[in-house]
Amino acid sequence: MDLQEKELMNTICKYCINKYQILNNAPILSSFIYQLGKKLDLDIPSIRGVLNVEVNGYKRLFAHCFNVYNGQIVDTSIYQYALINKSIKHLFPLYIVEITPSHIEYSINSEVKYECQFKFKDEYLSKALNEIRTFNNIDLKRFSISDDCKKENIIY
């Protein structure tokens, strides 16, 4: 992933986290990112897999949906596990682009085919891309479930 692509992926993730609820929306957010990528002529497939997180020498497994771009992880919704697992919230970053922390591993089970994804209207995707292009580099910080609930639901 070159620097320009990495910056675009970071901006998309920050936009999603800043604007949309992430709790329990991993499959929808990964579909959203896949479809945004299609409009940009980028292949960012939505993946169904398992998130392995090492906690005190043991691995905890979480079923999870995320994206992959050029063999690199793009995960906009990993922070949902920090919201629901408060005792280990420090183990989850806000999002992941390219480099995963050493205590986190991803296992890929299968691609979520387009036919099985939630479909976004072209107008909605175009509007989001315009917002992403003008999205200022906002410094995100950790937030709570109540903060997340105040955000826009991606399905409207």
What is the number of alpha carbons within 13 Å of residue 110 lying toward its C-beta? 4
Would you state the pLDDT for residue 135? 85
Q: Does residue 76 sit within a domain?
A: yes
Would you state the pLDDT for residue 156? 55
Would you state the pLDDT for residue 137? 73
Q: Read off the pLDDT of residues 91-145 as tens digits, 9 standing for 90 and up.
A: 999 999 999 999 999 999 999 999 999 999 999 999 999 999 998 778 899 999 9
Q: Which amino acid, 136?
A: N
72 bridge partner residues: 69
Provide the whole-model pTM: 0.93
pLDDT category at 152 given cuts 50, 70, 90 is very high
Exposure string of 133-152, with b = 16+ CB inside 10 Å and e = fewer, is: eeeeeeeeeebeeeebeebe
Res. 155: pLDDT tops 80? no
Q: Does residue 146 sit within a domain?
A: no
Positive/negative CA dihedral, 29, 33, 38, 42: negative
What is the number of domains present in the chain? 1
Q: Does residue 15 sit within a domain?
A: yes
63: containing domain: 3-133
Q: Does residue 118 sit within a domain?
A: yes
Q: Does residue 103 sit within a domain?
A: yes
Which has the closest alpha carbon to 145: 87, 103, 84? 84
Which residue's entry shows tokens 């709790």? 23
